[in-house]
Amino acid sequence: MRQAVPIFLVILVLFGVLAVGRAEDGASRFTTHETCALCHDETRRGTAMRDAEDRNVAPVDLWRSSMMANAARDPLWQAVVALEAAATPSRASDIEGVCLRCHAPMGRAGTRLADLVRGGESEALAEDGVSCTVCHQVRPEGLGTPASFSGHFRIGGDAEIYGPHVAPFANPMRRHSGYTPVSSDHVLEPALCGTCHTLYTDALAPDGEATGAMLPEQTPYLEWLNSAYASGADAATCQDCHLPTVDLDGTPIRTRIAHNPGGRDFPPTSRRAPFGRHVLVGANALTPKLLRGGRTAPPDAFDETLERVGEQLRSAARIEVADIRRTEGRLRVDVLIENLAGHRLPTAHPTRRVWLALEVLDAEGRVLFASGACDEQGRIVGADGAPLPIERAGGPLAPHRDRIAGAGEVALYEARMADSEGEATWLLTRGAVYAKDDRLLPQGWRAAGPWPDETRPKGTAGDADFRAGSDVVHYDLPLDLPLDQSFVLRARLLHQVVGARWIAEWLATGLAPAERLRALLDAADLCPSEIARATLSVEVP
């Protein structure tokens, strides 16, 4: 809750003397979120930014523990960028520049990763990540076109802040922040998100020379564009899921969109819609845990973000156990997976993976068979509890499996990179193509949909391998279950932000940043998150 504001501070703010966080050089187009918090954080002195049940929906309060707010502070991201730069030192500046473009877009010219790690007053804007004055200053021209991808959004020099509300009450914002609010619906369009969430990276040789190949590092926007959710009866935008305009009960939010710097309502304002809850959560359940003890937000804010991540994951897919056939010495069962997300599952950075875990238990709960079980380090294990060879550095790559015959096999959905020579690689800067990409396609996938030819990923598995939006895994297990024995089938779909194999390969590089990464991950919770579960009891009279 907002604390009482000293009267002298209120006077200074009301007369435009103070603009918290504004850059000193006068040339910056950005300001930190503290400036916006003057009028867009929680207060109990007025009615602004509260839903129908009087819950806080103030943008700054919800955003501060999100991945957007912490895009530049994310210690995992920092460690991985350092590792990529160390692997190709001749291109370190270029590698960092590409990453900073979307993770620290407000940084001054010349900001480097080391500056962010050190922090300090000079990097306050960069550290603020994807802050208010980034997204709300992106101009509409060119959005959704290839020219805007890979972080090539345009910020104007006219200090205009875009929002969806007609005829905004402009004077307070001009006075207290120097920005002018302007009505524009492009802030509600997925193409705005697509500027950074459509990223292509150049494949580099060890000496830093470009090989000429480009890897689609992540394409959630284009995946959505080719799905059933882009238009028609099932239409839903990125914002509908990640920045919803409804409250926790599904009721459209209608509220005053700001309070005065003293915390009270502006008399000329009234309740407005749409109003987005700036929760901005995806599937990352790892980084909020790493940041929980940091200074960006109180621990309970990160706890709430983790709860929202869990809710988001549980809405992303469903599974069903079906078609059970039991014969002497064998058990056959099918598990259906249905992707309900508006893009591939998993999507974004190729470190992410999803797998199916199936257990057969007897009536007393003893495990008779397990595929896809994992240990405390998030490594998939076999019947003996040891990590499978696919989890070890230098081990075999996991093939796509639609049939499982033993505990050493697992249905694992992931993207696997290869370099320009066709060899497996775990460095994004070496990735030229996906040698394996069996991530689940979204509902209504259109192979010939509106995916620009010049940006269509090359070399990916996909259209021919799955029914749009779903997959079926067939289990044919050598289980000698007497026909008169009851048993339980339990299937779980699991998600991991960074697969154990990636971690093993990174740590095996011997590069200095790998040791920093090891120290970070040794203290992290690497267990997967559950997306969906299906349990079926097979009773015998």
Question: Same domain for 244 and 389?
Answer: no
pLDDT at 119: 82
Separation of alpha carbons 19 and 30, rounded Å? 12
Q: For residue range 172-189, list pLDDT tens digits in order.
A: 999 999 999 999 999 999
Whether residue 104 lies inside any domain: the answer is yes
Cα dihedral 293→298→299→300 (10° resolution) = 180
Residue that finishes a domain, picked among 313, 347, 365:
313
Question: Same domain for 292 and 329?
Answer: no
Q: Percentages helix, strand, coil for the chain, rounded to the nearest 5?
A: 25, 20, 50
Question: Same domain for 284 and 325?
Answer: no
Question: Same domain for 405 and 521?
Answer: yes
Separation of alpha carbons 280 and 204, rounded Å? 32
Q: For residue range 56-78, list pLDDT tens digits in order.
A: 999 999 999 999 999 999 999 99
pLDDT at 14: 36
Question: Same domain for 451 and 352?
Answer: yes
Question: Same domain for 289 and 332?
Answer: no
End-to-end CA distance of the chain: 59
Question: Same domain for 207 and 323?
Answer: no
Question: Same domain for 474 and 526?
Answer: yes
CA 413 vs. chain centroid, Å, equals: 17
The mean pLDDT of 266-295, rounded to a whole number, is 92
Residue that finishes a domain, picked among 253, 282, 313:
313
Q: For residue range 413-447, list pLDDT tens digits in order.
A: 999 999 999 999 999 999 999 999 999 999 988 76
Question: Same domain for 19 and 93?
Answer: yes
Q: Report yes or no: 203 and 210 within 8 Å, Cβ to Cβ.
A: yes
Q: For residue range 187-200, list pLDDT tens digits in order.
A: 999 999 999 999 99
pLDDT at 223: 92
Question: Same domain for 366 and 474?
Answer: yes
Residue that finishes a domain, picked among 313, 337, 357:
313
Question: Same domain for 255 and 147?
Answer: yes
Q: Is 47 exposed, middle or buried (0-12, 13-18, 19+ CB in 10 A)?
A: middle
What is the number of structural domains in the chain?
2
Per cent of the chain over pLDDT 90 is 80
Q: Report yes or no: 370 and 383 within 8 Å, Cβ to Cβ.
A: yes
Q: For residue range 101-154, list pLDDT tens digits in order.
A: 999 999 988 899 999 888 888 899 999 999 999 999 999 999 999 999 999 999
Whether residue 356 lies inside any domain: the answer is yes
Separation of alpha carbons 500 and 479, rounded Å? 29
Q: What amino acid occupies position 280?
A: L
If phi over 0 gives left and psi between -120 and 50 gives alpha, with beta otherwise, what is residue 444? left
Q: Report yes or no: 18 and 237 within 8 Å, Cβ to Cβ.
A: no
Q: Report yes or no: 309 and 65 within 8 Å, Cβ to Cβ.
A: no
Whether residue 167 lies inside any domain: the answer is yes
Whether residue 1 lies inside any domain: the answer is no
- CA distances (Å), 134 to each of 18, 78, 105, 192, 262, in order? 21, 20, 7, 11, 25
If phi over 0 gives left and psi between -120 and 50 gives alpha, with beta otherwise, what is residue 531? alpha
Domain around 413: 317-538
Whether residue 289 lies inside any domain: the answer is yes
Q: 339: Cβ–Cβ under 8 A, 6 or more apart, which residues?
A: 316, 317, 345, 440, 441, 442, 443, 469, 470
- CA distances (Å), 526 to each of 161, 295, 369, 383, 510, in order? 39, 23, 24, 21, 21
Q: For residue range 447-461, list pLDDT tens digits in order.
A: 656 565 544 544 344
- CA distances (Å), 248 to each of 52, 311, 366, in order? 10, 11, 39
Tell me the pairing of strands 330-339 and 210-218. unpaired
Whether residue 498 lies inside any domain: the answer is yes
More confident residue, 276 or 463: 276
Q: Where are the beta strands (DSSP E) in 328-457?
A: 330-339, 353-362, 367-371, 403-404, 411-413, 415-418, 433-437
Asked if omega into 274 is within 30° of 0 (cis), the reply is: yes
Q: 170: Cβ–Cβ under 8 A, 6 or more apart, which residues?
A: 180, 181
Question: Same domain for 430 and 488?
Answer: yes
Q: Which residue has the tokens 């480097």?
A: 112
Q: For residue range 308-353, list pLDDT tens digits in order.
A: 999 999 999 999 999 899 888 899 999 999 999 999 999 999 999 9
Separation of alpha carbons 391 and 151, rounded Å? 33
Q: What amino acid occupies position 157?
A: G
Q: Report yes or no: 423 and 494 within 8 Å, Cβ to Cβ.
A: no
